[in-house]
Chain A
Amino acid sequence: MKTDTDNAMDVDDFYRLSSEIVRSIETVIDGKRDVVQMALTVLLAEGHLLIEDVPGVGKTMLARALAKSVDCTVNRIQFTPDLLPSDITGVSIYNQVEREFEFKPGPIFANIVIGDEINRASPKTQSALLESMEEGQVTVDGSTSILASPFTVIATQNPVEMEGTYPLPEAQRDRFMARISMGYPDEAAELAMLRTRESSSPLADLQPVVSTVQLIAMIATVRNVFVSWAVEQYAVSISQATRRDRDLRLGASPRATLQLVRAAKARAALDGREFVLPDDIDALAIPLLSHRLIPTNRVAGNGNPFATGAVADIIARIVAATPVPLGAVGPA
């Protein structure tokens, strides 16, 4: 997971490669550039992505396309209610030849892990995944195994009101850097999709455009992006404002602030900049914060604890009301 800053690549190379990834994914996912770029941002910011939408809009397709565009190990876990934690982390099996227990790594040991319909698994299983997400390692039977680097979980889930789902608790949702929603394709995109899927799955033709080494270098580049005091101040102001807001029961965690700035760095790098702008924070505030915040019952209304739209509105309001620091001033 740790990348050497010396590996950082030139901004131009970074820009070229990121463009290629986007283009590659776009051969599979039509007309969803924002979503694609958000997914890439999370990947480069070493975060985990939660894609939430109704079935059949291409959540899994996006995750797989992203994974296939990068030349790295990819595992996919289909979450079901009977899935066990060991089905994810792996199990120790007794090797009769060696006469000792041997750890068989589970599907979590990959650069990109696609957790499909994560909210269909039991909370116990979800926890197993989420712990490894945060710590970057798996401990089974007392032995600890380090996960691959880079390591990104792209989980998809159906909206909670769908049947047979176990909504993720706040603490677990917080582990995801961002939550995005696919949304339905527009008419033209849907028509184009019909034509391209007629013969074969475009996913099958997808070739990696970035090697693992390059990906590590890109991540290093993102880490090198400069964040000014003014922008940090801005991010903190927004987080603080969510904690004070009367319409929110739970505000943004410090981890949220951290990830907000980290994602902003990735976004800045994707934009060809080596420093973060307040605009990056603005653009990322809703996908980065909305799944972490819990509105008051008054705002959420009749029993919908998430009220995604309402929370997004609140975040937009907070962002619009937070003054943007201007000028190269630092802390005294």
Chain B
Amino acid sequence: MTFPDLATRPAPETARAVTRTPPARAGRPSEVRSTGALLLALLVTIAGLHVILDGVAWWFGLAFLSALLLGSAVVVRRIVPVRIDAVGAIALRRLLPPVVSVIVLLLAITATFAPSTAILGIIPTSQSWDTFAQLVEAANFSIARQSLPATAITPIMFLLCLGVGALSLLGDLLVNTLRFPALAGIPLLVLLAVPSVISIDFTDPIVFVLAALCYLRLLRANASRRQTGLALALSAVVLVGTLVAPLLLPEVRPAQNTNGTGFSSGVNPVLTLGQNLRQGVKHTVLGYSSDSGTAQYLRLVSLQNFSGSDWAPNAFRQRSTNTPAAIGAPPGLSANVATKEDQIFVTVDGLTSPWLPLPYPTSRVRGLDGDWYWDSDGLAVKSPNRDASNESYRATGLIIEPTPAQLTSAGTTVPTGFDRFLALPPAMPKIIASTAAKVAGGATSNYEKALLLQRFFREGDFQYSETAPVDKGYDGIGMSVIAAFLKAKEGYCIHFASAMAVMARSLGIPSRVAVGFLPGTQLSATVNGRTAFTVTSHDLHAWPELYFDGIGWTRFEPTVSRGDVPAYANVASPDVPTPFNTATPAPSTSASAKPSASAAPLAPEPTTRATAGAGQASSISAWIWLLVALFGAAVLGLVPSATRVLLRRRRLRAVARGEATALMAWREVLDTAADLGIDLPNTATPREAAHLLAEAVGGAERGSIDRLRAAVERESYGSAVGSPRRGLLITSSTSLAADARQIIVDLRAAADRPRRLRSTLFPSSAWSGMRRGLRSDD
């Protein structure tokens, strides 16, 4: 039995003002300690990327960036004074470090990736943004193309720096600004999840364990802020999420991905060819059918300029008159060479390439969408603004069938203007020229030399391998690569084609390297009565084209076990004795017509390292799915929170306008308390509830609570008639709303962080509150 205190009446509750003081904020040393723990955790989780990235250099870069950002935040916190007397100082101290870190991130990235476009090398300009955009594009492209583990090329490093930088900032924000160290698990988890999203096989358990230990250490460094429950819940969610997400995410089927195979306009096609070949997944690139039923090599482009380190296509000269409706005549082809017109129908499925796959030579292409132009130099058809994906067209061309006699009669003549196809860099490894001379130096005609070179590769002790050059570090097409290839005798089409082309040039034969596709596999079904073929990403190929006076550019096939040798090249030179002269000399016409189906299975299976990326080749799509799923989950998760916020706003606004009574404000306060886990049962009277609220807000001013409580009591239990007198605190509607707001602020301030977060994200009163609010009970 408690009774109102009559004799000493005013404010019996004032005595409890000093009951609770908020716990002292952790001081600066804790900030440094927690930042150190966060940095350690970040470094470990960054190291977890080693399963998808090659080498170690990237780690040092990212570690430095992370340390730089966290360090800058710490320094700023040290510099800004901690005088508590001004509210602005607190806000400044809270806001400044993240802002400074963001600026540091921006400057660091500019200085690293776009110094030439920046003022003083660090301050980004609009050009820098363009550079960044290009880097992002190139990175996306590279991620889609590279096999795993990927090389951390500059664009990828750019993306990594952005990501790790952002996650470092987020971690610092959570740990030191918002003081939710438990939530710092989120950025760590995002980093850890990157490999496992790509494939569940790609999770390094050791890194996981180390990261977990670092996370625990981080929590320990912030031991004063007890968030054990939150940390455990987060860990559970993260663990389950990382393990389950890859299983739940829709598997990305590269066949559905139009970016499956391709060459960026900005990237040398040869660079990506090997990577495409090494991709574990074979996906359809295009299908074609031909009138003659002849299997065709489909060329994309010819690389004519050999710089010593690289083969590159000519700069494309776009002329508006060069529409593919009428393509120029093939250079050097004389009328006495037997030709056969053929028409093929091509449907491109997934190929990112500005060049159109066409047989060489093609005289006319119909059915194309958009702008396509042919290059007067190499007769390649290219679009300045689109790729070949989803194009469907009809190409009319010639099948050139020179006889060995015609080729032999071309002798060693090099017509004017074709000298440039003989250009070789001055400092070339001797092995190239010497090998060429040894193999074919004795031949009298270019044709014989070519045959001998082709035989040297195809019938010597060369091995086809897509991975050996990568493993042994000579992947590419430059001179040094060719030299290494000639010694190692292992490589794939690029090495064979490039080596033969360079050796041909050293022997005086004009040469270039064509990049395109093998004829593919013949389908059992026909399309409109025409023989149909399907070409996959594994049919990507490179081959040398040699020029013979009077005949023009002719294809040779030096790559061992790949492709088919044209009839004119499939003869032994009767005139020149050679150690390689062991093949059947009889011309085989059937060989040329045979699609590469028989040859393709001979290609060695990609090694396990390459297959590891199987099914995940297009990690970009997986990322998009993950982002969509995360976004969806976030939106769903925010529904109660948003409902709650809206309800609060609606109620308090109604109270402030005088449309609703104090009871509405009271309900809002009670709901907020319920959200914060303060138990105010419906069996409590307003006074009891106010008492509990006052206890909950601790030392804060309880005038607001008393005023609101009094208004509620008067409304609920007072007489509707009669003027209010002593004991009734009359308050205006606006001050009621203000009081309610003040109580809510005090309640939230007094609650610990996990409760506050939970009340924001998962307000328990959201649904019941919404129901009550909709009933508009006042």
A interface residues, Cβ below 8 angstroms from B: 11-12, 15, 18-19, 22-23, 26, 33-34, 37-38, 226, 228, 230-231, 267, 270-279, 282-284, 286-287, 320-328
Q: In the complex, are the beta carbons of B687 and A277 less than 8 A apart? A: yes
CB distance from A132 to the nearest CB of B (A): 29
Q: In the complex, are the beta carbons of A33 and B725 less than 8 A apart? A: no
Question: A276 with B6: in contact, given A283-B1, A286-B1, A322-B683 (CB under 8 Å)?
Answer: no
CB distance from B758 to the nearest CB of A (A): 26
Q: Which 9 A-B pairs have the closest CB atoms?
A: A226-B719, A272-B727, A271-B4, A278-B685, A275-B718, A228-B717, A323-B682, A273-B727, A279-B687
A316 to B718, CA, bound (A): 25
Question: A320 with B718: in contact, given A18-B6, A271-B727 (CB under 8 Å)?
Answer: no
Residues of chain B contacted by A34 (CB below 8 angstroms): 1-3
CB<8 Å pairs between A and B, sample of 19? A19-B7, A22-B6, A38-B1, A38-B3, A226-B718, A271-B4, A273-B728, A274-B725, A275-B717, A278-B685, A279-B687, A322-B683, A323-B683, A326-B682, A326-B686, A327-B663, A328-B715, A328-B716, A328-B720
Q: Does B726 interact with chain A (Cβ within 8 Å)?
A: yes
A278 to B689, CA, bound (A): 12
Q: Does B377 interact with chain A (Cβ within 8 Å)?
A: no
CB distance from B21 to the nearest CB of A (A): 29
Q: In the complex, are the beta carbons of B683 and A327 less than 8 A apart? A: no
Q: In the complex, are the beta carbons of B716 and A279 less than 8 A apart? A: no
Q: Which of A226, A270, A277 contacts B6 (CB 8 A)?
A: A270
Q: Does B713 interact with chain A (Cβ within 8 Å)?
A: yes
Question: B260-284 interface mask toward A, CB cutoff 8 Å, 1 = contact, 0 = none?
Answer: 0000000000000000000000000
A322 to B684, CA, bound (A): 9
A18's nearest neighbour on chain B, judged by CB, is B6
Residues of chain A contacted by B1 (CB below 8 angstroms): 34, 38, 283-284, 286-287
A273 to B7, CA, bound (A): 15
B684's nearest neighbour on chain A, judged by CB, is A324
A117 to B717, CA, bound (A): 40
Q: Which of B683, B717, B778 contacts A277 (CB 8 A)?
A: B717
A80 to B685, CA, bound (A): 45
Question: A11 with B6: in contact, given A34-B1, A275-B717, A322-B683 (CB under 8 Å)?
Answer: no
CB distance from A27 to the nearest CB of B (A): 12
A to B contact number (C-beta, < 8 Å) = 105
B719's nearest neighbour on chain A, judged by CB, is A226
Q: Which of B663, B712, B727 contacts A11 (CB 8 A)?
A: B727
A221 to B253, CA, bound (A): 86
Q: Does B5 interact with chain A (Cβ within 8 Å)?
A: yes
Q: Does B722 interact with chain A (Cβ within 8 Å)?
A: yes
Residues of chain A contacted by B7 (CB below 8 angstroms): 19, 22-23, 26, 33
CB distance from A166 to the nearest CB of B (A): 28
User: What is the number of residues of chain B that contact chain A, defined by CB distance less than 8 Å?
Assistant: 33
Q: Among residues 687 to 739 in chain B, which have CB atoms less than 8 Å away from a CB atom of chain A?
A: 687-688, 712-720, 722, 725-728
A40 to B568, CA, bound (A): 127
Q: Does B85 interact with chain A (Cβ within 8 Å)?
A: no
Residues of chain B contacted by A322 (CB below 8 angstroms): 683
Q: In the complex, are the beta carbons of B726 and A12 less than 8 A apart? A: yes
Residues of chain A contacted by B717 (CB below 8 angstroms): 228, 230-231, 275-278
Q: Does B777 interact with chain A (Cβ within 8 Å)?
A: yes
A287 to B2, CA, bound (A): 11
CB distance from A277 to the nearest CB of B (A): 5
Q: Among residues 379 to 416 in chain B, which have CB atoms less than 8 Å away from a CB atom of chain A?
A: none
A279 to B1, CA, bound (A): 10
Residues of chain A contacted by B714 (CB below 8 angstroms): 275
Residues of chain A contacted by B683 (CB below 8 angstroms): 320-324
Q: In the complex, are the beta carbons of B722 and A282 less than 8 A apart? A: no
Residues of chain A contacted by B777 (CB below 8 angstroms): 327
Q: In the complex, are the beta carbons of B727 and A324 less than 8 A apart? A: no
A23's nearest neighbour on chain B, judged by CB, is B7
Residues of chain B contacted by A276 (CB below 8 angstroms): 717
Starting from the known contacts A228-B716, A275-B713, A286-B1, 10 additional A-B residue pairs (CB-CB under 8 Å) come to A22-B6, A226-B722, A228-B719, A273-B728, A277-B685, A282-B688, A321-B683, A324-B686, A327-B777, A327-B778
A325 to B716, CA, bound (A): 8
CB distance from B425 to the nearest CB of A (A): 92
A11 to B727, CA, bound (A): 9
Question: A327 with B716: in contact, given A12-B726, A271-B727 (CB under 8 Å)?
Answer: yes
Residues of chain B contacted by A328 (CB below 8 angstroms): 663, 715-716, 720
Residues of chain A contacted by B686 (CB below 8 angstroms): 277-278, 324, 326
A327 to B717, CA, bound (A): 8
Q: Among residues 1 to 28 in chain B, which have CB atoms less than 8 Å away from a CB atom of chain A?
A: 1-7, 9
Residues of chain B contacted by A19 (CB below 8 angstroms): 6-7, 9
CB distance from B683 to the nearest CB of A (A): 5
A25 to B514, CA, bound (A): 116
A270 to B3, CA, bound (A): 10
Which of B5, B684, B716, B727 is most buried by chain A, counting CB atoms within 10 A of its CB?
B716
Q: In the complex, are the beta carbons of B718 and A228 less than 8 A apart? A: yes
Residues of chain B contacted by A284 (CB below 8 angstroms): 1
A326 to B687, CA, bound (A): 12
Residues of chain A contacted by B778 (CB below 8 angstroms): 327
A282 to B777, CA, bound (A): 26
CB distance from B579 to the nearest CB of A (A): 105
Question: A282 with B685: in contact, given A33-B3, A230-B717, A327-B778 (CB under 8 Å)?
Answer: yes
Residues of chain A contacted by B688 (CB below 8 angstroms): 279, 282
Q: In the complex, are the beta carbons of A270 and B4 less than 8 A apart? A: yes
A272 to B726, CA, bound (A): 6
Q: In the complex, are the beta carbons of A326 and B716 less than 8 A apart? A: yes
A278 to B666, CA, bound (A): 16
Residues of chain A contacted by B687 (CB below 8 angstroms): 277, 279
A26 to B6, CA, bound (A): 12
Question: B762-778 interface mask toward A, CB cutoff 8 Å, 1 = contact, 0 = none?
Answer: 00000000000000011
Residues of chain A contacted by B722 (CB below 8 angstroms): 226, 274
B715's nearest neighbour on chain A, judged by CB, is A328
Residues of chain B contacted by A286 (CB below 8 angstroms): 1
A284 to B6, CA, bound (A): 16
A277 to B682, CA, bound (A): 15
B727's nearest neighbour on chain A, judged by CB, is A272
Q: In the complex, are the beta carbons of A283 and B2 less than 8 A apart? A: yes
A11 to B719, CA, bound (A): 15
A22's nearest neighbour on chain B, judged by CB, is B6
A12's nearest neighbour on chain B, judged by CB, is B726
A238 to B438, CA, bound (A): 114
CB distance from A288 to the nearest CB of B (A): 10
A322 to B681, CA, bound (A): 10
A26 to B719, CA, bound (A): 33
CB distance from A267 to the nearest CB of B (A): 8
CB distance from B3 to the nearest CB of A (A): 5
Q: Which of A15, A22, A23, A324 contacts B682 (CB 8 A)?
A: A324
Residues of chain B contacted by A12 (CB below 8 angstroms): 725-726
Q: In the complex, are the beta carbons of B719 and A324 less than 8 A apart? A: no
A270 to B727, CA, bound (A): 11
A325's nearest neighbour on chain B, judged by CB, is B716
Question: B741-778 interface mask toward A, CB cutoff 8 Å, 1 = contact, 0 = none?
Answer: 00000000000000000000000000000000000011
Residues of chain B contacted by A283 (CB below 8 angstroms): 1-3
CB distance from A15 to the nearest CB of B (A): 7
Residues of chain A contacted by B666 (CB below 8 angstroms): 326
CB distance from A96 to the nearest CB of B (A): 54
Question: A11 with B718: in contact, given A287-B1, A323-B683 (CB under 8 Å)?
Answer: no
Which of B2, B718, B777 is most buried by chain A, counting CB atoms within 10 A of its CB?
B718
Residues of chain A contacted by B684 (CB below 8 angstroms): 324
A271 to B726, CA, bound (A): 10
